[in-house]
Amino acid sequence: MPFTPSPASALGTCGEPLIVVKDIFGTIWGFEPPFGSWPCQHRGVHQIFPPPATEVDPGDVYHDERPLVGDRPWLMVNMVSTIDGVTDVDGVSAPLGGPGDKDIFGTIRTLPDIILVGSTTAVSERYNPPSTSVSTKARRLANGAWPVARIAVVSGRLDFDLTLPMFQRPAQRPIVVTTVDADPVKVEKVSEHADLIQCGNTSVDLPQALRDMAGLGAHRVLSEGGPSLNGALLRAGLIDEVFLSVSPLMGGGDSRGIARGDIPHIQELILRHVLTEDHFLFLRYSRAT
């Protein structure tokens, strides 16, 4: 199509300047630049697998049936990692993220009834009570989840500070998941700020903890890590679905990935989708069987 240059029309669909050419008849043509502009890396989330590649609403592509697995909730894991497997910078994961990643994180948080987190992560990332906004409630209800998610912190030692924000909203008491053998004095103090699930002796019996969550009516649980908790969940064969944001960064150091510890077996998963925005990849895998 002939092209009339103006500030608004001088940009292609991805925002890059068009290549403007005047032909021998004096007609001006504007062409999309040939490289680097597809898929747009800075305008909305694009799904590149399964095909066809298209712009998507993340709320739609993460929506799915997630049935109970026997007598326990479906368990999802969400983590962000650099290309080389770094999952924190100085004890926090925020430097690995970006605006698109935050949106996807928010979308994934509309899926579970309970958000499970290891005590180290809950403390280092200063967990807050989950959102109670009207829009979040509406998105959660559309996904078949409780209107407001609950946080469940896993800890054997119960050494964390009870003045942390997640313990400060009585209307949104978190759950603390600990052992039967936990120090009774600490259990007593924690119970002033949180509901307790106690199972397992030297360490938390994670399958039983999930069954107890099903007893509370939870159908879907999301682990937000960290890697030690994820490793324990993997060892117990409890991971049904993994959301991995690959950040376009490399960090080196002692990178050990999103699940840590002795892994007695390799679990196979299938790729469900690949999204991209801002040079991030958002991968979704689920249990193969």
Ligand X SMILES: NC(=O)c1ccc[n+]([C@@H]2O[C@H](COP(=O)([O-])OP(=O)(O)OC[C@H]3O[C@@H](n4cnc5c(N)ncnc54)[C@H](OP(=O)(O)O)[C@@H]3O)[C@@H](O)[C@H]2O)c1
Minimal distance, residue 82 CB to ligand X, in Å? 9
Which residues bind to ligand X, rule: CB under 6 A? 79-81, 87-88, 91-93, 96, 118-121, 124-125, 154-157, 159, 203-204, 206, 224-229, 232, 260
Minimal distance, residue 133 CB to ligand X, in Å? 23
Residue 241 DSSP one-character state:
E
Minimal distance, residue 234 CB to ligand X, in Å? 11
Minimal distance, residue 135 CB to ligand X, in Å? 24
Minimal distance, residue 36 CB to ligand X, in Å? 28
What is the Cα gyration radius of the chain? Answer: 23
Q: What are the tokens at 158?
A: 């119960």
Q: Coil, strand, or helix at residue 286?
A: strand
Nearest CB to ligand X, comparing residues 79 and 114: 79
Q: What are the tokens at 20?
A: 């403007």
Rounded Cα distance between 157 and 178, Å, is 8
Nearest CB to ligand X, comparing residues 27 and 201: 201
Q: What are the tokens at 70?
A: 């026997």
Nearest CB to ligand X, comparing residues 30 and 175: 175
Nearest CB to ligand X, comparing residues 76 and 96: 96
Q: Which of 70, 78, 94, 72 is nearest to 197 (CA)?
A: 72
Task: To the nearest 10°, report the CA torsion of 111, 114, 119, 125.
Answer: 40
Minimal distance, residue 64 CB to ligand X, in Å? 21
Helix (H) or strand (E) holding 140: helix 134-142
Nearest CB to ligand X, comparing residues 22 and 157: 157
Nearest CB to ligand X, comparing residues 7 and 252: 252
Question: How would you list the strands of the sheet with 269-277, edge to edge?
Answer: 54-55, 46-49, 269-277, 280-287, 241-247, 74-82, 220-223, 114-118, 150-154, 175-178, 195-198
